[in-house]
Each structure stands twice: as structure tokens, then as C-alpha cells.
Structure 1
Amino acid sequence: MQVCGVCAEQVPKYRCPTCRVRYCSLLCYKKHKDGCVPELPAPPSAPLSWTQNSGDWAVEDFLDEDSESDRVPLQRLKQLGESEELKALLRNPHLRRLLLTVDRAESKADIMKTAMQEPLFVEFADQCLKIVEPLENEDTMD
């Protein structure tokens, strides 16, 4: 269960439209808005982690009933977080800015078309797909 990204006490009901952090009340929003960062931040010096930001999203935030068949098993998602290849790619500030741009875009389809023109983004996407949807004969080809 998620907790408010501001007070870390209540279940969040709302999401900041600027930075997407989750918050539970008007009071928490007022506390949050002064420090809200709408533009792309400089990449942090430490590697990103799923739990670093208290406003993390959940898979359920993006799925509707029609999307259930596209759900990735939890074990495969964990493998993404454990992949040294992905960690190495995510150290690149340019890739991190691209990912933030995609995440914050209103039209995901349009921004994905643009992002897929970037070789670094394609490399990242390919690496993710190798983990999430490995080819059945991939092990036998090596």
C-alpha cells in the first residue's frame, strides 16, 4: 500500500499534475507545492531506485481491465531492477532525461515515436525487453 509522498502517514488520494508525487490532502499539497519541480531535474549522483522517491507509482495506476493480459510477472520486474546492464545504462544522464521526458509527456505515443529515434533509448528498450520477454531459443543460440 502506498503512503502520502509528503506526510508519509495517510493513503494518497491525489497526484500532483506537475511532478506526479502522490499526496493525501490539501494541507499536504500546500506543503509540497513550494518544493515541486516541474522541469527536468539534474540527474542525481546516486543510482535511481524504485523506493527512492516516496511518490512512486504502482502498476495498478496504469492498468485498466483491458490491460490485464499485458501485465508483466513480478519476478520479471524484479529482474529489471537487478540487471547490471540496465543499471549501467541508467547511469547515463541523457537517458535519464529522456525517460523523465517520456514519463511526463501528455501524449505517450507521440513522445515514444521521438524517443525511439534515439539509439540510447532503443538500447535501453531492447535491454528491458530481453529481460521481460526473453526469446525462447535465446539460451540455445549462444
Structure 2
Amino acid sequence: MQICSVCSEQTPKYRCPACKIRYCSLDCYKRHKDTCLPAEKPAPVTPEAKAVLNTEPWTVEDLLHEDDIIDKVPLQRLQQLGQSKELRDLLCNPHLRQLLRSIDSADSKPDAMKAAMQEPLFVEFSDQCLKIVDDEASVSCSDTFDL
């Protein structure tokens, strides 16, 4: 059973024409329209981009700096993210995918994360990721970030 992507309480009756998320009422639509991110069509891949994509694959270690080692998650746990049905189900939502794209392309990633943490769907996604990679699974994303 689906729930409203805005309030996470009611069964959705409507779909946003721009980003395709589902919502249940006019109030939810009004709340959503201020943060709506229309679904983008993927840009055609240029020959230069193909050359970059065909280079050796990056690893998690490529993304980490030595001072980040305290926050390092073992590769085995990271691989569990790709095996999670719950995470795959969440990633079917085009609104969540667009939020992730906007964070990834933001000039100020901390500001983009802070804004995304106001979205219940993103909080649900973040909590699910933490649940998979964290031993205690007791950390909530809303506890992790000062909102």
C-alpha cells in the first residue's frame, strides 16, 4: 500500500505532473509545490563523457581522505546497500532520485543536505541506509544532523 510522499500518513490520490510523486490532498500539494523538482530527462552522453565513463571504476577508498577514516564503513556493509529491497523500493520514487541528484550537483552540499533533511522521503531513505550499515541500527538521520 502506498502512502503520501508529503505527509506520509494518507493514501495518495494524486500525482504531481512535474515530478510524479504521489500526494493525498490539496494541503500536501501546496506544501510539495515549493520544493518540487521536475523530473529531468537525461542529457545525451557526449564522446568526452563516454571516455570518462570508460576509465577504471572508482572505489570507496577513492572518495575518502585520511581524516575521514573514523567515518569509514566497511565495504561489505556498503555492498549490503545494493542488496536491500527496502532501499530499492525507495529509489523507485522519482522525487527521491531527483533530490539525490540535486544534492550531488549542489555547490554547497551541506546546505543541500540540510534542505533535503526537511523532506520526509529523504529522511526515510537516510534512515534506511543507516539501518543497513550501522551495527546498532539505533541512529536516526534526524539525530545525526542538526536541523
Give the TM interval when normalised to the shorter protein: 0.5 to 0.7
1:126 corresponds in structure 2 to 127
AA aligned to 1:88 is D
After TM superposition, the score normalised by the length of structure 2 is 0.54
In structure 2, the partner of 1:101 is 102
Give the paired residue count.
Answer: 90
**How big is each residue's C-alpha offset from its partner over 1:5-45, in whole Å with a ceiling of 9 and x where there is no partner?**
xxxxxxxxxxxxxxxxxxxxxxxxx7226x8xxxxxxxxxx
How do residues 32-43 of structure 1 correspond to structure 2 at under 5 angstroms?
Answer: 32=48
**Superposition TM-score, scaled by structure 1 size:** 0.56
Give identity over the alignment, percent. 59
User: Are residues 134 and 54 of structure 1, via their aligned partners in 2, closer, same or farther at CA, if it must alter by over 3 Å?
Assistant: farther
Return the alpha-carbon distance in structure 2 between the equivalents of residues 31 and 110 of structure 1.
Answer: 33
Determine the structure 2 residue equivalent to 1:31: 47
Distance 1:97 1:54, change over 3 A: farther
1:28-87 per-residue CA deviation (whole Å, 9 max, x = no partner) reads xx7226x8xxxxxxxxxxxxxxxxx75764323321110112111011011110000000
More relative contact order in 1 or in 2 (CA 8 Å, sep 6+)?
2
Secondary structure, in 3 states, of the residue corresponding to 1:117? coil
Q: What is the identity, as a one-letter code, of the residue corresponding to 2:68?
A: S
Q: Which runs of 5+ in 2 are unaligned?
A: 1-45, 139-147
Within a 5 Å distance, the mapping from 1:50-61 to structure 2 comes to 57-61=58-62
